[in-house]
Structures are given as structure tokens and as C-alpha cells.
Amino acid sequence: MKKTFYITTPIYYPSGKFHIGSAYTTCFCDTLTRYKQLQGFDTRFLTGTDEHGLKIQQAAEAAGKKPQDHVDYIASLAQDLWKLLAVQNDDFIRTTEPRHERVVEQIFEQLLAQDDIYLGSYSGHYCVQDEAYFTQTQLKDGNLCPDCGRETKIVQEETYFLRLSKYQDTLLQFIEDNPDFITPETRKNEVVSFVKSGLNDLSVSRTAFEWGIKVPSNPKHVVYVWIDALSNYISALGYKSTDDSLYQKYWVEGNEVVHVVGKDILRFHAIYWPIMLMALGVPIKFKLFAHGWYMMKDGKMSKSKGNVIYPDQLVQRYGLDPFRYYIVKELPYGGDGVFTPEDFVSRVNTEIVNDLGNLVSRTISMAKKYFNGTVRQVTHHHEFSTFEQQLVTLSGEMIASYTAQMDEFKISQAMSDITTLVNRTNKLIDETSPWALAKDPNTMDVLESVIYHLLDSIRLAAILYRPILIESSPKIFEALQVEEQYQGFDALVFGLKKEYIVNAQAPHLLPRLDAEKEIPFIQSLMKGESKAPKVEVIIKDEITIEDFSKIDLRVGKVVSCEKHPNAAKLLLLKVDTGDKVRSIVSGIAEFYKPEDLVGKWIVVVANLKPVKLRGELSEGMILAGDSAGKIVIIEASSDLSIGSMVK
Ligand code: ME8
């Protein structure tokens, strides 16, 4: 039986578009999940949206929408974003789903029946943004929220309380008995001192607004949003439902459960949640990892400051690997990190394009040039054996260190271990000067040994990169023709694959980013100025409306698409334009994969004289924009019917 691994992100507030900071938690969890999968775990990865509460009700009002419509829309944005980022969550829980609401109702009623929840009344300073009460001494500058700095309001209401105080000592004991329950250590210390300072019972219901889960036995109360939200981690597994098999498998009998959260929500997860579980009689199975925050040079990301950066913008321009690589690498373990366009460009260029990309392409071209692509493990000793042996030893050390770091949630350090291995491999080229060895027939076997070491070391690095460079690692395996049995974590042994047959072109991992162009581009994204760099605009000679009306533009839908058999830059599309399904050859292969285009609604020049392009018939042209050399197709709304005239 495989060991289980259950990992969760917090469920996100549906308050708008998700910036790179919010994407961090999810990318981090996705990377860890892929790592555990490679280690042979049976993984389950949960994320979702936290859709109740006054803040959401107000956001919906501000958007002129009903709360449910508002949250439906944002939950769909979240799901689209995770898809775009290739996040492999197994489930997406929304707190407005009946499967969740029924569980929260039962949890509340059980705790009430047990007298762990009781009715009382409360008066205090309430922050709507953070959905939390603060005492007078906690407030900043008079009546400001200590967390977000917004004004708090004095609220008095009848409310239910959860007896936190009753569980204070048990919680402290639990933290002491389980030293790795909360990491990093500094966060644990924060929690311990907070608990030791004394826990007040927590107000867990509200009567001032409607948008939440009603307490079944007293429906003028809605359940406090944190009691509601935290329950998602088990409601999504079917806890207290007719089928709780996932709950039994991944939680009760599960081997590892991990909640990853940002430092801002530490207290809720390290204090309220374990106390809720203790009161419910549910075992505390989870480990909590609290990460720091992505900041900008001038502080927190905010639209009004003009310093927000969104993940979809970076992914659309640079691809998945640069984004995912950067985002999980740049935040140091436990601490905060700063996003800057300069660092983004230089990290991608240095670590992926230079260190890894060049190593791969140099090694492949040497294997082909000197050995026709076939390189075997050579066993006898030679003058460079010491260098090779150093590389082999270092690879073993880095693999061990990487694994230890990943197991402690130190993904950024684990990635540095791969960089160390890649750089040591590059050094072997400098130490041995393969081009000089190639000049002497007597040193060809020495050369073969060196290149073998380069190849096998690249294989190891590509395995270690599998959870991170999710597109580039498979490309490397393909180029080196590494069979599946040598791609897994159990194949992380130097010398396991005895022979390489390399015929392919060196894979084009990632293009080098032109700092002079890309840094201003990212800066302009941050200011929200434009999606693309400014282009020089030169308008062509005037035409009349009659001239224009000669062009027959139609809405079409792409029904299929494949690569052109003889031209790498061209794609062959079949487009339904109402009159017929036409073949169109288009020079967009650099920018779109065939499968990305199928189903797209586009605009076609339908009366363009048919031509053959590299042997394939093209009956029209599709409209696209050119933004500094990047081609983007003009998409039509699917509200238009196929064949509609565009004028
Ligand atoms: O807190 N850098 O949701 P949320 C790094 N609904 N991480 C950041 C960040 C930044 N700049 N900004 C946000 C909530 N995050 C609750 C959770 S769970 C039962 C309920 C992280 O949408 C943040 O720390 O405000 C949190 O981990 C996640 O994004 C969602 O935050």
C-alpha cells in the first residue's frame, strides 16, 4: 500500500483577481505534491474558495451583484488560473456548496450540544476586512486594526462562543509533544507565546449580516467565517457525510497531512483549528507550514500603489516554467521576499537559460559531434577520473540534501542544491576541455567517459527538477532518450543508465530574456499601463469604405489543428466559417500549440485567394495581432454565430 499525503492551501477569499502573492501558496503546494508523487505517495491536493462573510457580501454589493453570482464568478477565475498554472489539485471546495455547509452545521451543533460552544454577548472592536475582533490594547493608533490598519468598529451583539480557554493547556502540551507540528520554529514560538498569554473564548457567530451558514438551532446567527472556512479541510474529504472514505483514508488513517498557509493566518490554523478538532474528537493529523509574503520594493502589493503583478500576465509572456521556477525559488524559507522585474529576468536567464540550458545543449552537441550520439559508460581510470568522481560524490550529496530540504518544506534550498549540481557539471567541461581531447584519437575513450558523466548528471538534475520545471524536464528526457525507468526518484543513482543514444536536436528549453525589453515590459504590467510594451505606430495609407468592404471577414471556429508536416513555423487549421470547413495555413506555431487552438472562435479573411503554402492548401487567413514580435490571435465572442460577418 502506498503511503498517503494530503496537502491543502488555504481556501482563497473571492475578492478579485489573484496576484503572484496569492499564487505562491498554490504553486508551493503543487510543487510539493508533485515531489511526493515522485516519491511514490498516494497524494491528494485540495484548494478552494472561502465565500462567506460580511467582506464578501460587501464586495458583491460594490460590484452590483448578488453574493452568489459574485462568488461564482471569482471561483471560476480561481479555477481558470490554477488550470493555467498547471496546478494539479484533486478537488476544489467552495464553502457555498451544500457538501460543505451541511458539515459546518453539524460541527456547530455538535460543539453546542457538548457545551464547547455557548451563547453569550460580546462587545468589541471589529475589523470587517479581517473578520476579527480586537481588544483595546491590540489596536493601533486609537482604533485601527493591528493587521490591516483599517478603522475598526465597536460592535455589540449576542454571540456564541467557542471555549478556547478550556483547551489552552492541552494545545500547549500538544505543541510540546510534536516539535514539528508548526514550522518554521519562529512561527511556533509566536504561537506558543500567544497561547501562554492566555486564550479568551472566541466569538463564533454573527447576527449583523446574512451571508453565511445559519446556525440550525438559532438561524438568526450565522457561523463565524473562520469556523466555516477551517472546516473545509475535512468537509472536502466527506467528514460527517454518508461517504467518508476519503476522510478515513487521508486523514484518520493517513500518513501525512500538511496545511500550507501564509504567515498572516497562522493563528487561525495553529490555535483555533486544532482546538476545534480536539473538541470534535478528530485527531490532529496535520503539520502546519507558514510561509512569508511576497512584497514589492515599496511594500505590500496593491492596485492603488500601481505595483501589482498577476501570474497570468507573466505566464502568457514567458511560459509556465519561468514563472513557477521563480515564484517558488525567490521566497526564502519562512521569510518574506521581494518581487522585482530585474530579479525575475536575471534568475530565468542565469539559472535556467545559462546554467541548465547551455549545459544540455553543449552536451548534446558534443555527444553527436564526437560519438554520433552514442555514448557509453566507460569504466577504466584516466587522468580526469578524480574530477568525475568528485561530480559523482557531489551528486549523491545534493540528492540527499534536496530530499531532506523538500521534506522540511525548504523548496527554495532544494532548488539551490540542483543548481549546485548543474554548476559542478558545467565545471567538468572546463576541467576536461573536451574539444582538446577530441583532437587526439588516443583520448577518445577519456572523452566518452567525460561526456557520459555530463549526460548522466543532466539526467539526475532533470529528475530533481521534475516537480519544478514541469515542461523543461520532459523535454530533456526526450532529447537524451531517457527511458521512463530512468526518470523516477528511484533512478536517482549516478551511472544507472549505462548508455545514451542522443539523436535529437538540443531541446530549446527557454529563450534568453532580453533584459532591456523585458524589465520595462514587466514594469508596465505592474503599473497596469498596458499588457504589452508600447509599439511604434505607423498608419498605412487611407482607404475608402468601399475598399474595406471588399474584404470578407467571417467568424469561424477552429475544429482541428495540427503541425505543418514540412514547416516548423506553420500550423494547419481546419476552420468552420459557416459556408464550409476550410483549411488555413498560419505562421503561428511558435506561439500556439495545436491543442490550444481547437475550439477557439476567431476571425477569418474568407475571400482571400487560395494558395499553397509549403505544399498545403490555405483558403483564407486568420486575424492576429503582432505585439513586439509576439503573435496573438484575435478571438471572437462565441455569442456570434459561426459565419457571422465582421464589419
Ligand atoms: O486568508 N505573498 O484567504 P486569502 C504570499 N480565506 N502569500 C500571500 C500574499 C503575498 N503577498 N498575499 C496573500 C485567506 N497570500 C482565508 C483563508 S483558510 C481556512 C481561509 C496568501 O485569499 C495568504 O497568506 O486572503 C494565504 O495563504 C493565501 O494567499 C490566501 O489568502
Q: Is the pLDDT of residue 587 over 70?
A: yes
**One domain for residues 479 and 609:** no
Q: Which residue has the cell 498608419?
A: 539
Atom 19 in ligand 1: which residue has the minimum CA distance? 230
Atom of ligand 1 lying closest to residue 265 CA: 1
pLDDT score at 448: 97
Q: How far away, in angstroms, is 169 Cα from ligand 1 center?
A: 29
**One domain for residues 63 and 195:** yes
Within-domain flag for 516: no
What distance in Å separates the CA atoms of residue 162 and residue 293, rounded to the nearest whole number?
Answer: 30
Any residues with CB less than 8 A from the CB of 397 and at least 6 apart, and which? none
Within-domain flag for 99: yes
Count of other CB atoms within 10 angstroms of residue 442: 7
Q: How far away, in angstroms, is 261 Cα from ligand 1 center?
A: 7
Ligand 1: list residues with CB < 6 Å: 10-13, 21-22, 24-25, 50, 229-230, 232, 261-262, 264-265, 293-294, 301
Q: Among positive and negative, which fits the CA dihedral 101, 103, 106, 110? A: negative
Atom 15 in ligand 1: which residue has the minimum CA distance? 22
Q: How far away, in angstroms, is 9 Cα from ligand 1 center?
A: 9
Q: Give the tens place of pLDDT for each residue, 308-332.
A: 999 999 999 999 999 999 999 999 9
- Contact between 231 and 162 under an 8 Å Cβ cutoff? The reply is no
Within-domain flag for 391: yes
The number of domains in the chain is 3
Residues spanned by the domain of 463? 338-501
Q: What are phi and psi of 611, to 5 degrees?
A: -140, 165
Q: What letter does residue 299 receive in the DSSP assignment?
A: B
Q: How far away, in angstroms, is 262 Cα from ligand 1 center?
A: 6
Q: How far away, in angstroms, is 420 Cα from ligand 1 center?
A: 32
**One domain for residues 453 and 559:** no
- SS3 (DSSP) at 558: strand
- Contact between 130 and 153 under an 8 Å Cβ cutoff? The reply is no
Q: Give the tens place of pLDDT for each residue, 543-552.
A: 888 889 899 9
Q: Are strands 571-576 and 553-563 parallel, antiparallel or unpaired?
A: antiparallel
* pLDDT mean across residues, the chain: 93
Atom of ligand 1 lying closest to residue 261 CA: 27
Candidate of 56, 230, 265, 327 to mutate for ligand 1, largest count of ligand atoms within 8 Å of Cβ: 265
Residue 601 pLDDT class (50, 70, 90 cuts): very high
Bridge partners, 162 (sequence order): 117, 202
Average pLDDT over residues 19-30: 96
Average pLDDT over residues 413-436: 98
Atom of ligand 1 lying closest to residue 13 CA: 22
Atom of ligand 1 lying closest to residue 295 CA: 11
Q: Is the pLDDT of residue 628 over 70?
A: no
Average pLDDT over residues 533-560: 82
Atom of ligand 1 lying closest to residue 230 CA: 19
Average pLDDT over residues 566-581: 92
Which of 171-180, 225-234, 391-400, 511-520 comes out lowest in average pLDDT?
511-520
What distance in Å separates the CA atoms of residue 452 and residue 598, rounded to the nearest whole number?
Answer: 42
pLDDT score at 264: 95
pLDDT score at 539: 75
Atom of ligand 1 lying closest to residue 263 CA: 24
The last residue of one of the domains, among 234, 263, 291, is: 291
368-380 as b/e: b if 16+ CB within 10 A: bebbeeebebbee
**One domain for residues 112 and 257:** yes
Candidate of 9, 15, 17, 22 to mutate for ligand 1, largest count of ligand atoms within 8 Å of Cβ: 22
pLDDT score at 534: 47
Q: Among positive and negative, which fits the CA dihedral 38, 43, 48, 53? A: negative
**One domain for residues 437 and 549:** no
Candidate of 11, 24, 47, 56 to mutate for ligand 1, largest count of ligand atoms within 8 Å of Cβ: 24
What distance in Å separates the CA atoms of residue 389 and residue 431, rounded to the nearest whole number?
Answer: 13
The last residue of one of the domains, among 231, 256, 291, is: 291
Within-domain flag for 173: yes
Q: Is the pLDDT of residue 531 over 60?
A: no
**One domain for residues 242 and 147:** yes
Atom 11 in ligand 1: which residue has the minimum CA distance? 21
Q: How far away, in angstroms, is 413 Cα from ligand 1 center?
A: 23
**One domain for residues 73 and 211:** yes
Q: How far away, in angstroms, is 277 Cα from ligand 1 center?
A: 22
Within-domain flag for 194: yes
Q: How far away, in angstroms, is 12 Cα from ligand 1 center?
A: 6
Q: Give the tens place of pLDDT for each residue, 495-516.
A: 999 999 998 777 777 889 999 9
What distance in Å separates the CA atoms of residue 95 and residue 82, rounded to the nearest whole number?
Answer: 18
Q: What is the CATH number of the domain that holds 555?
A: 2.40.50.140
Average pLDDT over residues 86-102: 98
What distance in Å separates the CA atoms of residue 92 and residue 45, rounded to the nearest whole number?
Answer: 9
Q: What letter does residue 536 receive in the DSSP assignment?
A: -
- Contact between 603 and 620 under an 8 Å Cβ cutoff? The reply is no
Q: What is the CATH number of the domain that holds 465?
A: 1.10.730.10
Atom 26 in ligand 1: which residue has the minimum CA distance? 262
Q: Give the tens place of pLDDT for each residue, 135-192.
A: 888 899 888 999 899 999 988 889 999 999 999 999 999 999 999 999 999 999 999 9
**One domain for residues 230 and 82:** yes
**Amino acid letter, 428:** L
Atom 21 in ligand 1: which residue has the minimum CA distance? 22
Q: How far away, in angstroms, is 341 Cα from ligand 1 center?
A: 22
Q: How far away, in angstroms, is 581 Cα from ligand 1 center?
A: 47
Within-domain flag for 145: yes
Count of other CB atoms within 10 angstroms of residue 110: 15
Average pLDDT over residues 401-422: 98
The last residue of one of the domains, among 501, 529, 563, is: 501
pLDDT score at 30: 98
Atom of ligand 1 lying closest to residue 260 CA: 27
Q: Is the pLDDT of residue 431 over 70?
A: yes
Q: Give the tens place of pLDDT for each residue, 329-352.
A: 999 998 999 999 999 999 999 999
- Contact between 572 and 563 under an 8 Å Cβ cutoff? The reply is yes
Instruction: Name the more confident of 410 and 640.
Output: 410
pLDDT score at 629: 67
Q: What is the CATH number of the domain that holds 122?
A: 3.40.50.620
Q: Are strands 153-162 and 132-134 parallel, antiparallel or unpaired?
A: unpaired
Q: Among positive and negative, which fits the CA dihedral 582, 585, 589, 590? A: negative
Per 3-state DSSP, what percentage of the chain is helix, strand, and coil (rounded to 5)? 45, 20, 35
**One domain for residues 459 and 347:** yes
pLDDT score at 15: 74
pLDDT score at 243: 97
What distance in Å separates the CA atoms of residue 152 and residue 77, rounded to the nearest whole number?
Answer: 30
Average pLDDT over residues 560-572: 91
What distance in Å separates the CA atoms of residue 616 and residue 594, rounded to the nearest whole number?
Answer: 16
Comparing CA positions, the residue from 494, 538, 488 lying closest to residue 391 is: 494
**One domain for residues 259 and 377:** no
Residue 582 pLDDT class (50, 70, 90 cuts): very high
Atom of ligand 1 lying closest to residue 262 CA: 24
Q: Give the tens place of pLDDT for each residue, 254-274.
A: 999 999 999 999 999 999 999
**One domain for residues 246 and 126:** yes
DSSP-H helix ranges across 438-581: 444-464, 472-479, 515-526, 545-549
Which long-range contacts does 145-150 make (Cβ < 8 Å, 24+ apart)?
147/264
Q: How far away, in angstroms, is 304 Cα from ligand 1 center?
A: 19
Average pLDDT over residues 639-644: 89
Within-domain flag for 132: yes
pLDDT score at 537: 64
**One domain for residues 496 and 550:** no
Q: Give the tens place of pLDDT for each residue, 63-83.
A: 888 999 999 998 999 999 999
Q: Is the pLDDT of residue 541 over 70?
A: yes
Candidate of 15, 25, 231, 295 to mutate for ligand 1, largest count of ligand atoms within 8 Å of Cβ: 25
- Contact between 4 and 45 under an 8 Å Cβ cutoff? The reply is no
Within-domain flag for 192: yes
What distance in Å separates the CA atoms of residue 365 and residue 451, rounded to the nearest whole number?
Answer: 10
